[in-house]
Amino acid sequence: MSLTRFQSKSSSPDPSAASGAAGRRVHVVTFGCQMNKYDSLLAEGRFRRAGWEVSGTLEDADAVVFNTCSVRDHAEERAWSWIGELKRAKALRPELVIGVMGCMAQRVGEEIFARAGHVDVVAGTRHYHNLPALVERVREARAATGSSSSSVRARDRAARALALEMDDPVAVDRSDEEYSGDVSAWLTVMRGCDLNCAFCIVPTVRGRVLSRPVEDVVREARWLVDRGARAVTLLGQTVNSYGEDFAAPGPDETRHRGRQGRPGLADLIHRLQEIDGLLRIRLITLHPSYLTPELARALRDCDKAERFLPLPAQSGSDRILRAMRRGYTTDLYRRRVDMLRDTVPDVELGSDWIVGFPGETEEDYAASEAFLAEQRFAVNYVFKYDPRPGTSAAERLGDDVDEAVKKERNRRFLAASERVAFARFSRHVDGVRRVFVESVGEREPGTLLGRTIHGLPVSFAGGSELVGRELDVRIVAASAYGLAGEPAAQDSLTT
C-alpha cells in the first residue's frame, strides 16, 4: 500500500487552491467532547478559507470528514459504524473524499485504511488545519494516476494521505473566518495533558501540554464576542494547568500569575473579564492538583466567571485513586476544595466517577458514595470502567470486576448522585439567581433555557429576544438535573 504522507509544516493550505475548490462542499461529523466540537469548527473554517462551502448534509458533499473520539470504546464503535455506512456512498460516488480526523485517527492510524478501505485521509489531533490541503492533494493524486490505474480502488489506495505528526504547535487564527456558532462559544486554550492517569488515553492521542499565549486567547475571545458570542467556555484536558508550560514571565506580567511566577488560568480570567460584551466565562475540565488560591480569588473577584467547577474526583477510595495514578488522595482533594469554598462560598462542583475500576471492592465503591455525599457535588457523570488499549491500566491491571457488578454499581451510584444533586439544587429554590439565557426550549414553546451564575441549568417562560442576555430569575422548583424559575424584575435585564 502506497501512502502519501504530509508533514504538518509542508501541508498548510495553499491560498491558490481556493479557486480550484470553488463550488466544492464539505460535511463534518463530530463525535465526542467539546474540544472536538471546537476542532470541527476550526476545520470548517479552514475549508472555507480554501474556497469550500460547508454542507449540512452528507448527500451533497464532495468530502466528508469524521472527527472522532477515543475516550471510550463505545465512541470509537459509533465512529466505525458511521464510517462503514459510507462504503456504499463511495461505491456510488467514487470521487467522494472520506477523511477521519481526531483522537481515534491518532490512536489507530493506518489501521483505518486496513479496516475501512474506502477512507482516503487519516489526520491526527493536530492536523485539523491541514485537512483542506490533504483533501486537495488526494484529489490531485487521483487525477494524476487515474489513466494508468487498473481500477478505482487501486487509484484511491495510491492517493491516500496520512498525517499523524504531533510536533506542530497549531497556531489558531480565525480572523478571516465566518463565525458559525451562537451566543455560547467554545475556546480551546491548551492542548494535551502532562498527567498519566492509568485509565486515560488523552496524553497518547492529544500529546503533552501546549498552552496558547494569553494574548492569542484574548484575541480569539474578542473575535467571538464581536460576532455575537456572549458566553465563552475555556477548554482544556486539565484547563487549570493552563500556563504550566510557559517560561518565566517578564516584568510586565500581571500580578495574578500563579506558581513559579508563570501566567496561569487566573491571569487569563482577569483578562477576559475586561472584554466588553462578554457576559460569562466557563471552564472545562479541571484537576485537583492545579486548584490554586490564585484561581479561587479570580473566581471570587471576576463577576463574569461562573461559580461552577468540573473537578473530577473519579473515586472516593485512596487505594483506587493510587491505582488510577490520579496524583492526590481524598484528603488532598478535601483540603483543596475547602480552600476554594472558603474563598468562593457559593461555588458548585461537578465530578466524573468511574465504577468497576480494576481491583475495586465493595468497600472501595462505598467510599466513593460516601465522598460524593460529603463533597455535595451538584453535577455527576458516572461511567463503568472501560479498558482502553494503550493505557497503563489496560496493560497492568486487566479488567477483573465482573460486568454485572459494574452495571449494578453504576445503577446504585447514579441513584446516589441523583439524591445528592437534588439536595444541592434545592438550596437555590426561593432565591433569585443571575441567569444567562442560552436558547429557546425545543420541546415547549415559550420556554427559555439558561444557566445560573453557578452554572446550573434553569428553564423559565420568556421570548426569544432574551437569548444572549442576562436577567434575574426567581427559582421556584428543583430536580436532580435542573431548576425551574420565573423572571424577576425586568429592570434587571443585562445585554
pLDDT band at 10 (very low <50, low <70, confident <90, very high): very low
pLDDT of 16 reads 36
Q: Look up residue 450 and give its three cell numbers.
A: 439558561
Task: State whether the Cα torsion 87-90-91-92 is positive or negative.
Answer: positive
How many percent of the chain have pLDDT more than 70?
90
Contacts (Cβ under 8 Å, ≥6 apart) of 303: 273
Coil, helix or strand for 187?
A: strand
Calculate mean pLDDT across residues 170-179.
Answer: 82
Per the model's pLDDT, the better-predicted residue between 495 and 366 turns out to be 366
Cα–Cα distance for residue pair 122/134, rounded to 1 Å: 9
Q: Write the CA distances from 35 to 92, 176, 319, 421, integer angstroms.
A: 33, 21, 31, 26
In sequence order, which residues have a C-beta less than 8 Å from that of residue 366 and are 6 or more positions away?
none
| Residue in this structure with the C-alpha cell 475516550, named with its chain if needed | 71
Closest to 304 in 3D by CA, of 391, 216, 247, 234 = 234
**Range with the lowest mean pLDDT among 303-307, 468-472, 485-489?**
485-489
Q: How confident is the model at residue 11 (pLDDT cuts 50, 70, 90)?
A: very low
pLDDT of residue 146: 63
* pLDDT category of residue 437 using cuts at 50, 70 and 90: very high
pLDDT at 495: 55
What are 485's strand-pairing partners?
475
What is the reported pLDDT for 19? 42
Higher per-residue pLDDT: 138 or 155: 138
Spatial distance between the Cα atoms of 487 and 475, rounded to a whole number of angstroms: 9
16 CB-contact burial (10 Å; exposed 0-12 / middle 13-18 / buried 19+): exposed
Nine-digit cell at 181?
456558532
Q: What is the mean pLDDT of the chain?
A: 90
Burial class (CB in 10 A: 0-12, 13-18, 19+), 162: buried
Q: What is the pLDDT of residues 217-271, one digit of tens each?
A: 999 999 999 999 999 999 999 999 999 999 876 555 555 655 557 899 999 999 9
At 77 the pLDDT is: 92
Decide: 321 and 330 in contact? Cβ < 8 Å. yes
Of 31-45, 135-149, 166-180, which one has max mean pLDDT?
A: 31-45
Cα 16 versus chain centre, distance: 33
- Range 192-206 average pLDDT: 91
**Residue 232's beta-bridge partner residues?**
185, 281
Does 248 or 375 have the greater pLDDT score? Answer: 375
* Burial grade of 445 (CB within 10 A; 0-12, 13-18, 19 or more): exposed
Of 5-9, 273-277, 309-313, 412-416, the one with minimum mean pLDDT is: 5-9
pLDDT for 212 equals 94
pLDDT of 34 higher than 80: yes
Q: Is the pLDDT of residue 394 over 70?
A: yes
C-alpha closest to that of 290 among 252, 243, 325: 243
Contacts 24+ apart (CB under 8 A), 94-97: 94/152, 94/156, 95/62, 95/139, 95/142, 96/61, 96/62, 96/63, 96/64, 97/62, 97/63, 97/64, 97/121, 97/135, 97/138, 97/139
Q: What is the mean pLDDT of residues 154-176?
A: 81
User: CB burial class (10 A; 0-12, 13-18, 19+) of residue 465?
Assistant: exposed
Contact 54, 23 (CB under 8 A): no
Higher pLDDT, 143 or 162: 162
pTM above 0.85, yes or no: yes
pLDDT tens readout for residues 70-118:
888 888 999 999 999 999 999 999 999 999 999 999 999 999 999 999 9
pLDDT single digits (tens) 150-161: 576 676 777 899
Which segment of 200-209, 255-264, 441-450 scores lowest on mean pLDDT?
Answer: 255-264
User: Edge-to-edge, what's the strand order for the sheet holding 379-384?
Assistant: 308-310, 348-355, 379-384
pLDDT(15) > 70: no
Do the bridges between strand 348-355 and strand 379-384 make them parallel or antiparallel, or are there none, so unpaired?
parallel
